[in-house]
Amino acid sequence: MPKISVIGAGNVGATLAQRLYEKDLADVVMFDIVEGLPQGKALDIFQASSYYPTDYTIKGTNDYADTAASDVVLVTAGAARKPGMTRDELLAINASIVRGVVSEVVKHSPDCILIIISNPVDAMVVLAQQVSGFANERIMGLSGALDGARLASFIAMKLSIPAAKIEPCVIGEHGENMVVIPRLTRIDGKPLTDIMDQDQCQALCQRTIKGGAEIVSFLKTSSAFYAPSAAVARMAEAVIKDENLNICAVAFLNGQYGIKNVACGVPVVINKKGIAKIVEYQLTDSELEALRASAQAVKDTVSKIN
Ligand code: APR
Nearest protein Cα to ligand 1, atom 27: 80
Residue pair 232/145 in contact (Cβ under 8 Å)? The answer is yes
Cα–ligand 1 centroid distance for 75 (angstroms) = 9
Q: Where are the alpha helices (DSSP H) in 23-167?
A: 37-46, 91-108, 121-132, 144-159
Q: 19 CB less than 6 Å from ligand 1?
A: no
Query: Of 41, 174, 234, 299, which one is the catalytic site residue?
Result: 174
**Predicted TM-score of the model (pTM):** 0.97
How far is it, in rounded angstroms, from Cα 24 to Cα 254? 35
* DSSP per position, 14-64: HHHHHHHHHTT-SEEEEE-SSTTHHHHHHHHHHTTTTTS--S--EEEES-G
Sheet containing 186-187: order of strands: 166-167, 186-187, 190-191
Q: 7 CB less than 6 Å from ligand 1?
A: yes
Pocket test for ligand 1, best of 223, 235, 301 (most atoms within 8 A of CB): 223
Query: How is residue 172 annotated by DSSP?
Result: E
What's the pLDDT score for residue 89? 76
What's the pLDDT score for residue 79? 83
Nearest protein Cα to ligand 1, atom 20: 10
Q: Is 182 helix (H, G, I), strand (E, B) or coil?
A: helix
Residue type present at position 91: L
Residue type present at position 2: P
What's the pLDDT score for residue 81? 66
Cα–ligand 1 centroid distance for 298 (angstroms) = 21
Pocket test for ligand 1, best of 5, 11, 30, 122 (most atoms within 8 A of CB): 11
Residue pair 114/105 in contact (Cβ under 8 Å)? The answer is yes
Closest CA to 26 of 241, 203, 230: 241
What's the pLDDT score for residue 146? 98
Run means of pLDDT, 10 residues per run, the chain, 306 residues? 98 98 98 98 98 97 98 93 71 94 98 97 97 98 98 97 97 96 96 97 98 94 95 98 98 98 98 98 98 97 90
Q: Which atom of ligand 1 is nearest to the CA of 81?
A: 32
Q: Who's near 267: CB < 8 A, 6+ residues apart? A: 144, 169, 171, 246, 247, 248, 278, 279, 281
Closest CA to 135 of 278, 301, 296, 275: 275
Residue type present at position 299: K
Residue 108: active-site member: no
Cα–ligand 1 centroid distance for 9 (angstroms) = 7
Cα–ligand 1 centroid distance for 207 (angstroms) = 25
Terminal Cα distance for the chain, rounded: 39
Pocket test for ligand 1, best of 32, 64, 235 (most atoms within 8 A of CB): 32
Q: 232 CB less than 6 Å from ligand 1?
A: no
Cα–ligand 1 centroid distance for 80 (angstroms) = 6
Nearest protein Cα to ligand 1, atom 22: 10
Q: 228 CB less than 6 Å from ligand 1?
A: yes
Q: 119 CB less than 6 Å from ligand 1?
A: yes
How far is it, in rounded angstroms, from Cα 263 to Cα 220? 30
Q: 212 CB less than 6 Å from ligand 1?
A: no
